[in-house]
Amino acid sequence: MKAHTKETQSTMTPEKALQFLKEGNQRFQQNLKANRNLLEQVNDTSDGQFPFATILSCIDSRVSAELVFDQGLGDIFSVRIAGNFVNEDILGSMEFASKLAGTKLIVVLGHTSCGAIKGACDDAKMGNLTKLIEKITPAVNAVSEPKDETLRNSKNLDFVDTVSKKNVELTIDRIYKESPILSEMEKGGEIKIIGAMYDINTGAVDFYE
């Protein structure tokens, strides 16, 4: 499989980009890989890059977007931060990726049993991590069940995963509210913005469509 070129990127649509990721995740789950020469792709992309998707994911070592979607060099922009939330810098990176570099799809990818989400559920305090966790707290507060405070913590993995999904949804809401550029691009059909969840037990990605 060759690296994407300006020509192949120009034929890409948001729907086609999403299908590429779905097919890549299927290969990953089946322990298959597309036939690609990474060193050849190094050479192919030395004069430029033409990725088709931008993926915001957690820094978790088990959730490498390139691996779980079976993508090569030059295929995707990968933005990683604990808790996969957005701030001004990440939004700027997404705007660059979509408006200037031509990606057709933005995926906000959460994952099960997320450590950052667990920290927010427990209201953890530790150095700079405290400020990071505060950015995820709105997702914790937005999940109403269970009401029993003894069940609203990291030991309740169902609660953790529900908060993780809500965090993805709130992150997408922030993209729309805080990036008129990306919002207008989606309204115009230039890009698609979608949430997804990676299951660390199965390797499967569930897209929220």
| Residue 184 confidence (pLDDT) above 90 | yes
Helix (H) or strand (E) holding 120, with range, is: helix 115-121
Q: pLDDT by residue (tens digit) across 30-69? A: 998 887 777 777 766 666 677 999 999 999 999 999 999 9
Mean of pLDDT values over 96-107: 96
> What is the rounded distance in angstroms from the CA atom of residue 186 to the CA atom of residue 206?
21
The gap from C-alpha 198 to its chain's centroid, in whole angstroms, comes to 9
Q: How confident is the model at residue 107 (pLDDT cuts 50, 70, 90)?
A: very high
List the end-to-end C-alpha distance of the chain, in Å, as a whole number.
Answer: 28
Q: pLDDT by residue (tens digit) across 130-158? A: 999 999 999 999 999 999 999 999 999 99
Domains and CATH numbers, the chain: 6-112+172-208 (3.40.1050.10)
Per-residue HEC secondary structure of 25-87 comes to: HHHHHCCCCCCCCHHHHHHHCCCCCCCCEEEEECCCCCCCHHHHCCCCCCCEEEEECCCCCCC
Question: Do 167 and 139 touch, CB atoms closer than 8 A?
Answer: yes
pLDDT at 102: 92
Mean of pLDDT values over 176-193: 97
Lowest mean pLDDT among 10-14, 120-124, 148-152: 10-14
Would you mind telling me the total number of residues written for the chain in this entry? 209
Mean of pLDDT values over 12-18: 94
Mean of pLDDT values over 66-94: 95
Q: pLDDT by residue (tens digit) across 42-53? A: 766 666 677 999
Helix (H) or strand (E) holding 105, with range, is: strand 105-111
The pTM score is: 0.92
